[in-house]
């Protein structure tokens, strides 16, 4: 990344006590809910000033976006953090629970000893011949480790931005979510250091002594064998392992037990292996994309992404049991517990997938042993798979701090 650099904040020694806190409050008085949620989050820090504060506002249907703006301003003012970011959403996560519909506010506060915290704001302007110019990209330092970003999908080209970052700063992880307040274009508000934005994106780059990891749970389980792509046109799979893709798909689905056949009919996905040189492909090794159509006459299967000849793919289905198992296994794949985490869970998860809207946050808290976990139900999730950043759907994207 290059371009405008915003201020840097480097924090000092760790205080005694907890380093992370979260809170959530529900009610039509959004400013009042913000005050309650922030008080809960700050109470978890035992009096320490937060180095990073995040606020997530779910205004509910029919609410004036300026009420969201007022709630965000009040939350940032009350938190008194060195750096603050946030966004509006359809639903929020905090205090060990998920609230899928507003009005509600969630807050998250963190003390990050030895960490350099650098906020940024992103803009997108359309230039000549339809080109989009993105401004506000921070220049990365050698010890920057990860960035979290919150984006208004109606005014910022997040897909192109991620492609650009994958090319210019390969391997640098980005995690976050797309704002999704009810009301469509113009309804979202983004928050950064006391200011409220109506367009673009906001985020924070973390460097120095920060120890954090990203987890992207795509929530699918494989059906059938892995296969090499032997003929393709763009997003149309024409041949898999030398046979028509449609024929392979029918063979795989026909061999499934009835329950899995029903899952495949409701929603079939394709896992695209990110590392062709791996001997085995397990959880987290596939980028999951939807199967959007199939044509018996041509033998083609259409996928929601471009696939290359030689790539290894495997068909997938998604259900609550598999999604829960996937999240638990990926979170547990580390020797050190986390102290806190930011969670961006798809708005297609929650009660649309699990018995409770609390599922993802409870799994994150219990598996990581984290003190503070907050976030929101996103209209799209950002996170790395196979060393490249992608925009996902139906995922839980997590930034966990040691």
Which pLDDT does position 137 carry in this prediction?
Answer: 79
Handedness of CA 325, 263, 382, 195 (dihedral sign): negative
Q: What is the pLDDT of residues 121-161, one digit of tens each?
A: 998 877 666 667 788 878 899 999 999 999 999 999 999 89
Among 289, 317, 345, identify where a domain stops.
317
Residue 276 — pLDDT band, cuts 50, 70, 90? low
Q: Is residue 59, in this structure, part of any structural domain at all?
A: yes
> Does 239 share its domain with 329?
no
Question: Would the pLDDT of 286 be above 90?
Answer: no
Residue 96: inside a domain: yes
The pLDDT of residue 321: 86
Residue with tokens 């080109």: 131
Higher pLDDT, 64 or 277: 64
Q: Report yes or no on 1 lying in a domain.
A: no
Give yes or no: residues 106 and 188 share one domain.
yes
Six token digits for residue 381: 């999730």
Residue 2 lies in a domain: no
Does 44 share its domain with 172?
yes
Residues 277 and 234 in one domain: yes
Asked if 162 and 186 sit in the same domain, the reply is yes
69, pLDDT greater than 90: yes
- Does the model's pTM come out above 0.85? yes
Average confidence (pLDDT) over 197-210: 96
d(CA 103, CA 123): 28
Does 259 share its domain with 364?
A: no
DSSP annotation of 355 reads: S
**% pLDDT > 90, the chain:** 74
375: domain range?
9-217+324-401
* pLDDT at residue 327 tops 60: yes
Q: Are residues 263 and 292 in the same domain?
A: yes
Using 50, 70 and 90 to split pLDDT, how confident is the model at 219?
confident
Do 183 and 161 lie in one domain? The reply is yes
CB 117 within 8 A of CB 83: yes
What average pLDDT does the segment 279-308 reach? 86
Q: Is residue 4 part of a domain?
A: no
| Mean pLDDT, rounded, of the chain | 90
pLDDT of 197 higher than 90: yes
pLDDT band, residue 367 (cuts 50/70/90): very high
Q: How confident is the model at residue 5 (pLDDT cuts 50, 70, 90)?
A: very low
Q: Looking at residue 129, what is its pLDDT?
A: 64
And the tokens for 359? Answer: 């599922």
226/213 same-domain check: no
Question: Does residue 107 fall inside a structural domain?
Answer: yes
Residue 162 and residue 147 in contact, taking contact as beta carbons nearer than 8 Å: no
Query: Of 3-7, 141-145, 367-371, which one has max mean pLDDT?
Result: 141-145
pLDDT attached to residue 165 = 92
Query: Looking at 213-222, 275-284, 376-385, which range is the least confident one?
Result: 275-284
Q: Is the pLDDT of residue 272 over 60?
A: yes
Same domain, 329 and 367: yes
Where a domain ends, among 317, 345, 371? 317
Which whole number is the average pLDDT over 228-232? 95
Q: Are residues 42 and 158 in the same domain?
A: yes
Q: What is the pLDDT of residue 14?
A: 44
**pLDDT beyond 50 at 3:** no
Residue 201: name the closest of 182, 174, 173 by CA.
174
Which structure tokens are listed for 169?
Answer: 């700063």
Residue 3 resides in a domain: no
**71-102 pLDDT tens trace:** 999 999 999 999 999 999 999 999 999 999 98
Residue 301 lies in a domain: yes
Q: Is a pLDDT exceeding 70 seen at residue 9?
A: no
Q: Which of 317, 334, 352 is the last residue of a domain?
A: 317
Q: How confident is the model at residue 274 (pLDDT cuts 50, 70, 90)?
A: confident
The predicted-structure confidence for 150-166, as pLDDT tens digits, reads as follows 999 999 999 989 998 99
Compute the C-alpha angle 291/295/299, nearest 5°.
100
Instruction: State yes or no: pLDDT of 298 exceeds 90.
Output: yes
For residue 304, count CB atoms less than 10 angstroms from its CB and return exposed for 0-12, middle for 13-18, buried for 19 or more: middle
- Euclidean distance between CA atoms 154 and 152, whole angstroms: 6
Q: Tell me what pLDDT residue 13 has.
A: 47
The pLDDT, as a whole number, for residue 278 is 60
The number of folded domains in the chain is 2
Q: For 127-167, where are the E strands, in sequence order? A: 132-135, 144-151
Coil, strand or helix: which one is 192? strand
- DSSP assignment of 77-134: HHH--SEEEEEE-SEEEETTEEE-SSSEEEEEEE--TTEEEEEEEEEEEE-GGG-EEE
Q: How many CB atoms lie within 10 A of CB 309?
A: 11
Same domain, 239 and 366: no
Question: 210 pLDDT exceeds 60?
Answer: yes
């Amino acid at each position: 990344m290059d371009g405008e650099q915003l201020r840097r904040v480097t924090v000092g020694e760790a205080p005694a006590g907890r380093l992370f806190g979260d809170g959530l409050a529900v009610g039509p008085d959004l400013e009042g809910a913000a005050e309650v949620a922030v008080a809960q989050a700050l109470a978890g820090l035992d009096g320490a000033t937060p180095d990073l504060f995040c606020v997530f506002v779910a205004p509910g249907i029919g609410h004036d976006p300026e009420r969201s703006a007022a709630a965000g301003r009040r939350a940032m003012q009350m938190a008194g953090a060195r750096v603050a970011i946030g966004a509006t959403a359809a639903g929020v996560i905090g205090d060990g629970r998920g609230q899928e519909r507003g009005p509600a506010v969630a807050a998250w506060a963190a003390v990050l000893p030895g960490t350099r915290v650098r906020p940024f704001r992103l803009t997108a302007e359309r230039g000549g011949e339809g080109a989009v110019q993105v401004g506000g990209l921070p220049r990365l330092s050698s010890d920057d480790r990860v960035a979290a970003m919150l984006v208004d999908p109606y005014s910022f080209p997040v897909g192109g931005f991620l492609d650009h970052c994958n090319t210019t700063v390969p391997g640098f992880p980005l995690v976050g979510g797309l704002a999704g307040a009810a009301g469509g274009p113009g309804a979202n508000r983004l928050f950064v250091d006391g200011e409220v934005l109506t367009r673009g994106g906001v985020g924070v780059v973390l460097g120095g002594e920060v120890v954090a990891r990203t987890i992207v749970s795509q929530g699918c389980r494989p059906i059938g064998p892995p296969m090499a792509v032997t003929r393709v046109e763009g997003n149309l799979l024409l041949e898999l392992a030398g046979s028509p893709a449609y024929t392979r798909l029918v063979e795989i689905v026909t061999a499934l037990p009835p329950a899995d056949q029903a899952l495949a009919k409701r929603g079939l996905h394709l896992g695209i292996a990110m590392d062709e040189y791996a001997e085995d492909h397990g959880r987290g090794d596939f980028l999951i994309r939807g199967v959007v159509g199939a044509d018996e006459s041509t033998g083609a299967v259409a996928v929601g992404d471009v696939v290359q000849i030689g790539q290894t793919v495997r068909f997938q289905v998604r259900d609550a049991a598999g999604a829960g198992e996937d999240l638990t296994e990926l979170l547990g794949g580390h020797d050190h517990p986390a102290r806190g985490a930011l969670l961006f869970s798809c708005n297609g998860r929650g009660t649309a997938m699990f018995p409770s809207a609390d599922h993802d946050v409870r799994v994150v808290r219990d598996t990581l042993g984290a003190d503070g976990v907050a976030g929101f139900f996103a209209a799209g999730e950002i996170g790395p798979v196979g060393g490249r950043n992608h925009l996902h759907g139906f995922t839980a994207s997590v930034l966990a701090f040691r």
